[in-house]
Amino acid sequence: MGYRLRNLICFFLFILLLASFNGCSSNHFIQKLWETKVYESEGEENTFPLKVIPDIGNNKVYANYASKLLCIDISHGNKIWELNSGEDRLIFDFMFDDSNFFISLIPKQYSENELFTSNIAKIDAQTGKYIWKKEFSKSYSPVFLFFLAKDELMVAREGKCYILNCLNGEIMHEYRFPIVADYGEEAISSWTLSNEVFYKYLPVSKEIIRVKLSDFSNFKENLRFKNIVLPDDLSLSLVRDGKILLTSPHCLILGSEGNGEIIKNIKFEDISAEFSHHFINLNNNYINPTIYKDYILGKYFSINEKSEELGFLVLNFEDSAFIRKKHGGKLSEIAMKAKFSPFIWKETLFLIYEERDKDRSTLLAYSFPNLEPLFTIGENTKFLKKRVSNETNFSNPPYLFASVEKNNIIGLIVAYSDRIIFYTLNR
């Protein structure tokens, strides 16, 4: 009896250990639905993930790997088509709706201070074949796919906006965004879209420009917050529900768009923080992937005579009393080295940690906003040894995750360095 009891206890201890490793939440992954290789040959160039966006209604997912764009069947992971960018071009971004699909192309090689030509192309969403391609003259900036409405495509480049006819790519209108004469301020400004209004924060003049996209002649009065001296290093992080969120390494400011009053002014006394002010365009829906509900995720570091801290910071910008810091050991290493393309979904933070010298990537999952470790999934992944273009030429951070909730399938599509994997969730 004692022998059986001991075996039974060992069995339950094993189950508990297994549960603690894989997590006990109902949202945890249970299996791979499919896995699709993106490249096979070590000789390929510039194949690194930039953005993955699902088209749930048409049962597709699109993935941009710079030198190629893939269309994949969500149910089975089969490639429907693959578009290669060519010998001298890379795919900077893509955007689509029910009847149009556009890509932005840049040269494979260019330096930061070099003028270069850019292209916009329309492709057939069913086949991946080119329909038309338009070249823009030399500039220091790529062409941003800005907004898609009806039969018009709006693109932006260095303070100018062009309205293109979706049918043939002809430029129908050209506008100049309201900018200041100082090129330096234009270069460090931050911007986003919200409810078809363009917002740009100018950190030198400390004003927010607002323009309605439907009528470029209708400029709202520039917004300047009242009764506060703003620091010089603020960036625009969020526009939502009549509120504007500005962040810097030393403070977070939440202001009212309606009356210019300051709602919150949260100062960081003992840390220096790093928040993202890059926005991902998900087909006219500009989002900051580091913001989830009323929380913003950032990195922080703190150095004093006794210790040095590096880790993650979560702050509730509607309730300034809540600040959560997590650091130490593996988490500090992840904060420093992990590819910072966070994805927050179902109260879970997902990150990808790459070990290129070991040809390995790890999917990390933490509870959010508490940042307690839930589980990890390791994958053997390859990394290209041959690159003509550096990933830093792409101004926006990569967007490597896509959530899927379709029929009875709930899961997460992850774009690794050399493959795309669809993990399903335990409901």
DSSP one-letter code for 275: E
Collapse the DSSP code of 195 into the 3-class scheme (helix H, G, I; strand E, B; otherwise coil) and give the result.
coil
How does pLDDT run across 144-159, given as a tens digit for each residue?
899 998 889 999 887 7
> Does residue 124 register a pLDDT over 90?
yes
- pLDDT for res 217: 62
DSSP states of 305-358 as a string? SS-EEEEEEEEETTSTT-EEEEESHHHHHHHHHSEEEEEEETTEEEEEEEEGGG
Q: Per residue in 357-374, pLDDT tens?
A: 899 999 999 899 988 888
The answer to whether 389 touches 46, Cβ cutoff 8 Å, is yes
**What is the reported pTM?**
0.87
Higher-confidence position of 371 and 427:
371
Q: Which whole number is the average pLDDT over 377-390?
A: 76
Contact predicate 117/135, CB 8 Å:
yes
What does the CA dihedral 95, 162, 210, 206 come to, rounded to 10 degrees? 100
Could you report the per-residue pLDDT of 234-247, keeping only the tens digit for each? 999 999 999 999 99
Q: How far apart are CA 208 and CA 373, in angstroms?
A: 39
Asked if 128 contacts 113 with a C-beta cutoff of 8 angstroms, the reply is no
Q: Name the CATH superfamily housing domain 25-425.
A: YVTN repeat-like/Quinoprotein amine dehydrogenase (2.130.10.10)
pLDDT digits (tens, 9 = 90+) for 12-36: 433 333 333 333 343 456 689 999 9
Domain boundary assignment for the chain: 25-425
Classify residue 173 as exposed, middle or buried by CB count within 10 Å of its CB (0-12, 13-18, 19+).
exposed
3-state secondary structure of 117: strand
Q: Rounded to whole angstroms, how far apart are CA atoms 396 and 409?
A: 30
Structure tokens at 110: 């260019």
The CB-side HSE value for 48 (13 A sphere, CA atoms) comes to: 21
Is the peptide bond preceding residue 373 cis, with omega within 30 degrees of 0?
no
Q: How confident is the model at residue 172, as a pLDDT?
A: 93
Q: Which two tokens stand for residue 132?
A: 């038309």
